[in-house]
Amino acid sequence: MSERPLWTPSPARIRDTNLAAFRSRIERDYGTHVPDYAVLHRFSLEQPEKFWTAFKDFAGLKAETWGTVAIRDKHRMPGAAFFPDARLNFAENLLSRDDNTDALVFWGESEARRRLSWRELRAEVSRVAAALEGLGVQSGDRIAGYLPNMPEAIVAMLATASLGAVWSSCSPDFGVQGVLDRFGQIAPVVLFAVDGYPYNGKTHDVTAKTAEIAGRIPDLKRVVVAEYMGGGGLDRIPKAESWERFIAPYPPGPVRFRQVPFNHPLYILYSSGTTGVPKCFIHGAGGTLLKHVAEQRLHCDIRSGDRVFYFSTTGWMMWNWLATCLAAGATLLLYDGSPFHPDGNVLFDFADAERATLFGTSAKFLDAARKAQLAPIKSHRLETVRTLTSTGSPLAPEGFDYVYANIKTDVHLASIAGGTDICGCFVAGDPTAPVWRGEIQAAGLGMAVEVFGDDGRPLPVGEKGELVCTRPFPSLPLGFWNDPGDARYRAAYFERFPGAWHHGDWIARTAHGGYIIYGRSDATLNPGGVRIGTAEIYRVVETLDEIQESLAIGQEWDNDVRIVLFVVPRKGIALDDALCDKIKRKVREGCSPRHVPARIVQVADIPRTKSGKITELAVRDVVHGRPVKNKEALANPEALDLYRNLPALRS
CA atoms within 13 A of residue 113's CA, in its CB half-sphere: 4
Q: Which sign, positive or negative, has the C-alpha torsion 142, 257, 292, 320?
A: positive
**C-beta of residue 501 within 8 angstroms of C-beta of residue 490:** no
Pair type for strands 501-509 and 465-469: antiparallel
One-letter amino acid for residue 159 of the chain: A
Q: How would you class 244 by CB atoms within 10 Å of its CB: exposed for 0-12, middle for 13-18, buried for 19 or more?
A: exposed
Classify residue 363 as exposed, middle or buried by CB count within 10 Å of its CB (0-12, 13-18, 19+).
buried
Between CA 77 and CA 476 the distance in angstroms is 9
Exposed/middle/buried for residue 87 (C-beta within 10 Å: 0-12, 13-18, 19+): middle
CB within 8 Å of 75: residues ≥ 6 apart: 471, 472
pLDDT for the residue numbered 273: 65
Give the residue from 643, 590, 586 showing the smallest Cα distance to 614: 643
pLDDT computed for residue 1 by the predictor: 46
Beta bridge partners of 222: 190
Q: Give CA–CA dist 347/340, Å, rounded.
A: 9
From the number of C-beta atoms within 10 Å of its C-beta (0-12, 13-18, 19+), residue 150 rates as: buried
Q: Which pLDDT score, from 0 to 100, does residue 364 have?
A: 87
Q: How many CB atoms lie within 10 A of CB 216?
A: 15
353-362 b/e (C-beta count within 10 Å ≥ 16 → b): ebbbbbbbbb
Q: Identify the H or E element spanning 563.
A: strand 560-569
> How far apart are the C-alpha atoms of 42 and 290, rounded to whole Å?
18
- The neighbouring-strand residues paired with 331 are 307
CA distances 409 to 346, 354, 360, 379, 387, Å, are 20, 20, 16, 14, 11
DSSP string across 1-43: --SS-SB---HHHHHTSHHHHHHHHHHHHH-----SHHHHHHH
What is the structure's pLDDT at 201?
93
Question: 263-281, pLDDT tens digit by residue?
Answer: 999 999 998 766 668 899 9
Q: Is the peptide bond before 342 cis (omega within 30 degrees of 0)?
A: yes
User: What backbone torsions phi and psi does residue 52 show, to the nearest 5 degrees?
Assistant: -70, -30
Residue 472, Ramachandran bin (φ over 0: left; ψ between -120 and 50: alpha; else beta): beta
Q: Pick out the chain residues at pLDDT < 50.
A: 1
For the chain, the 3-state helix, strand and coil shares in percent, each to the nearest 5, are 35, 25, 40
DSSP 567: E
Interval 111-122: pLDDT, tens: 889 999 999 999
If you ran DSSP here, which 8-state letter would residue 73 be given? S
Q: Among 358, 332, 357, 359, which residue's Cα sits nearest to residue 346?
A: 359
Of 146, 118, 126, 351, the C-alpha closest to 237 is 146
Domains and their CATH numbers in the chain:
88-515 (3.40.50.12780), 524-649 (3.30.300.30)
Query: What pLDDT is recorded for position 158?
Result: 98
**pLDDT at residue number 186:** 98
* Pairwise CA distance, residues 230 & 627, whole Å: 40
- Decide: 320 and 423 in contact? Cβ < 8 Å: yes
Query: Exposed, middle or buried, 366 (CB in 10 Å: 0-12/13-18/19+)?
Result: buried
173 vs 92: CA distance, rounded Å: 31
Question: Residues 184, 621: contact at Cβ < 8 Å?
Answer: no
Displacement of CA 275 from its chain's centroid (Å): 19
Beta strands in 456-546 (DSSP E): 465-469, 479-480, 501-509, 515-520
> What count of Cα atoms within 13 Å lies in the side-chain half-sphere of residue 238?
13
Given a contact cutoff of 8 angstroms between Cβ atoms, the answer to whether 245 and 127 are in contact is no
The pair phi, psi for residue 352, each rounded to 5°, is -70, -50
Q: What residues does 359 pair with on adjacent strands?
A: 309, 388
- Number of alpha carbons in the 13 Å side-chain half-sphere of residue 54: 24
User: What is the distance between the alpha carbons of residues 280 and 302, in angstroms, rounded to a whole number?
Assistant: 30
In the chain, the N- to C-terminal Cα span, in Å, equals: 37
